[in-house]
């Protein structure tokens, strides 16, 4: 393979697309903010998780190992409120949701991260981090026992979000805190326990009394414990830039005196407001809804990657249907490449040239700030050219193998070949009977009846193909 091109990413911290390489030249230490597990994650969350999946696959394509941490926030205000209202512990609320998250993740072919730490498993590390901040004089204990980070004692505050501290307003999570503090802008590191915290198992002993960690504290403690004090890459949705990631930087760097992450990457929103949604898409706000409406994981991956991760993406029935049709073409091509008859017929020298060009163009796009749309365009251009060359049956078996390897290399990142649709026994029997009737009609040269049967099959999603004296069929 040729020498890989330079890998570049847009760094939110500098607002520039910059060359990127892991600090040690070998392994990318990447932290990605995961779900808060009081409700199943929605498709907006999964757009972010798919962007991060594309990231780790492209990093691997570039030749680097990846150590990814995705946290599971299993203690916060919403979880405690839900648990208290249902008379449960926070664990009883979160464990079933974590199970659903992994089922949804696997359905969407999102590769498993190396670590999925739960906040409740890292309480000692969180307490130790708060102790360091108190010792360094950038955190203080309020009258009720809660501990706050004093943002006016950290000169770099606002650097990520480009906010002057005079413009900073209390974040939504801070507004829910009813604790006294020196400055309304300060954020909670450790929250003094309330009765509902105790009742739901969301309180722990600490040097400041019974309490629980603040939301921002959790990520810093887990990231640094697993990956070290300076990460290569920190990813998340654009909504996390402020206050969450801004606060992570403040508490981490104030504790260590080192940069918390070398690069920050953020994905844009998935929108549904204003879109004319068909009834079929009405409940596709979750992965479960997607499955119920028979939209494949491959189609959603195509839909998401066909818009650059830093651009807003509008969910619509038309877009999902277009992606469904697009991945059907990909699946047909994959099937053709895997057919022994294709290898036997062979390709042409032009097929091998098209294969090499597809890899070069797709990789150049992916290595340039994860340009999914250009990579997809390269793939579909290759499919068009390759089908034309395969139709010529040039006899060159090596070119077919080159095409197969090129296709697999690109799809290893995009992963948009749909799963084969399985027919039930009743449908299979009906198709066999209809094909026999069609064969009889063709034998009698009754082509009008043959065409009518083809249309009848197509109406039930059955596509047929006549080749080499045989008729094959598949479900759309």
Domain with residue 401: its CATH number is 1.10.730.10
pLDDT digits (tens, 9 = 90+) for 399-411: 999 999 999 999 9
* Domain-located, residue 272: no
* Domain-located, residue 202: yes
**Closest residue by Cα to residue 79 from 46, 41, 39, 118:** 39
Domain that holds residue 95: 8-267
Specify whether 404 is located in the same domain as 454. no
Specify whether 300 is located in the same domain as 380. yes
Indicate yes or no: pTM above 0.85. yes
Task: State which of 242, 267, 292 marks the end of a domain.
Answer: 267
Distance separating alpha carbons of residues 323 and 304, to the nearest angstrom: 9
Specify whether 342 is located in the same domain as 227. no
* Domain-located, residue 2: no
| 271 or 402, higher pLDDT | 402
Specify whether 256 is located in the same domain as 144. yes
Specify whether 24 is located in the same domain as 125. yes
Distance separating alpha carbons of residues 191 and 194, to the nearest angstrom: 9
* Domain-located, residue 420: no
Specify whether 287 is located in the same domain as 260. no
pLDDT of residue 460: 79
Specify whether 256 is located in the same domain as 375. no
**Closest residue by Cα to residue 386 from 342, 344, 416:** 342
pLDDT at 105 over 90: yes
Specify whether 195 is located in the same domain as 336. no
**Closest residue by Cα to residue 341 from 454, 475, 474, 472:** 472
CATH number at residue 123: 3.40.50.620
Residue given tokens 């009765």 in the structure block: 195
Specify whether 58 is located in the same domain as 87. yes
Angstrom distances, CA of residue 158 to CA of 138, 166, 210, 245, 328: 16, 10, 31, 10, 46
Distance separating alpha carbons of residues 212 and 123, to the nearest angstrom: 8
User: At 475, which helix (H) or strand (E)?
Assistant: strand 470-475
Specify whether 293 is located in the same domain as 407. yes
pLDDT of residue 280: 46
Distance separating alpha carbons of residues 53 and 130, to the nearest angstrom: 32
Burial of 437 (0-12, 13-18, 19+ CB in 10 A): middle
Indicate the number of domains in the chain. 3
Angstrom distances, CA of residue 291 to CA of 90, 288, 296, 315, 459: 28, 5, 7, 16, 22
* Domain-located, residue 45: yes
Specify whether 193 is located in the same domain as 56. yes
* Domain-located, residue 274: no
* Domain-located, residue 57: yes
Residue 458 pLDDT grade (very low, low, confident, very high; cuts 50, 70, 90) = confident
The token pair that represents 318 in the structure block: 């038309």
The token pair that represents 229 in the structure block: 């004090």
């Amino acid at each position: 393979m040729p020498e890989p091109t330079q890998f570049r990413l847009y760094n939110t911290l500098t607002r520039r697309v910059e060359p990127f390489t892991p600090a040690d030249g070998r392994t990318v230490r990447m932290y990605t903010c995961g779900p808060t597990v009081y409700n199943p994650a929605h498709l907006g969350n999964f757009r972010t998780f798919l962007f991060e999946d594309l990231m780790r696959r492209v990093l691997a394509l570039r030749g680097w190992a990846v150590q990814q941490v995705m946290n599971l926030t299993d203690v916060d205000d919403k979880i405690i409120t839900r648990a208290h209202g249902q008379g449960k512990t926070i664990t009883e609320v979160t464990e079933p949701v974590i199970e659903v998250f992994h089922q949804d993740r696997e359905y969407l072919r999102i590769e498993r991260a190396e670590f999925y730490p739960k906040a409740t498993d890292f309480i000692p590390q969180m307490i130790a981090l708060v102790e360091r901040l108190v010792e360094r004089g950038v955190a203080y204990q309020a009258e009720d026992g809660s501990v706050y980070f004093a943002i006016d004692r950290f000169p770099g505050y606002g650097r990520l979000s480009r906010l002057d501290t005079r413009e900073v307003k209390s974040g939504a999570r801070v507004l829910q805190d009813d604790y006294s503090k020196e400055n309304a802008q300060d954020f909670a590191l450790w929250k003094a326990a309330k009765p509902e915290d105790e009742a739901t198992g969301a309180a722990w002993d600490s040097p400041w009394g019974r309490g629980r960690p603040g939301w921002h504290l959790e990520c810093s403690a887990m990231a640094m414990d697993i990956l070290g004090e300076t990460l290569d890459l920190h990813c998340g949705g654009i909504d996390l830039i402020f206050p969450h990631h801004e606060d992570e930087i403040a508490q981490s760097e104030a504790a260590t005196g080192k940069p918390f992450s070398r690069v920050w990457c953020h994905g844009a929103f998935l929108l549904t407001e204003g879109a004319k949604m068909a009834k079929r898409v009405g409940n596709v706000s979750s992965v479960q809804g997607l499955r119920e409406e028979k939209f494949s994981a491959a189609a959603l991956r195509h839909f998401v990657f066909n818009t650059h991760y830093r651009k807003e993406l509008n969910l619509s029935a038309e877009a999902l249907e277009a992606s469904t049709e697009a991945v059907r073409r990909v699946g047909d091509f994959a099937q053709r490449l895997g057919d022994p008859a294709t290898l036997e017929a062979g390709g042409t020298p032009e097929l091998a040239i098209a294969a090499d060009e597809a890899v070069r163009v797709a990789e150049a796009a992916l290595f340039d700030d994860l340009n999914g749309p250009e990579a997809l365009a390269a793939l579909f251009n290759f499919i068009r050219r390759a089908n034309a060359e395969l139709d010529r049956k040039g006899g060159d078996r090596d070119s077919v193998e080159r095409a197969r390897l090129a296709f697999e290399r690109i799809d290893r990142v995009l992963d948009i070949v749909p799963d084969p649709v399985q027919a039930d026994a009743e449908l299979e029997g009906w198709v066999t009977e209809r094909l026999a009737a069609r064969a009889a009609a063709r034998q009698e040269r009754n082509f009008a009846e043959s065409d009518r049967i083809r249309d009848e099959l197509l109406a039930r999603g059955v596509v047929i193909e006549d080749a080499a004296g045989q008729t094959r069929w598949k479900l759309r």
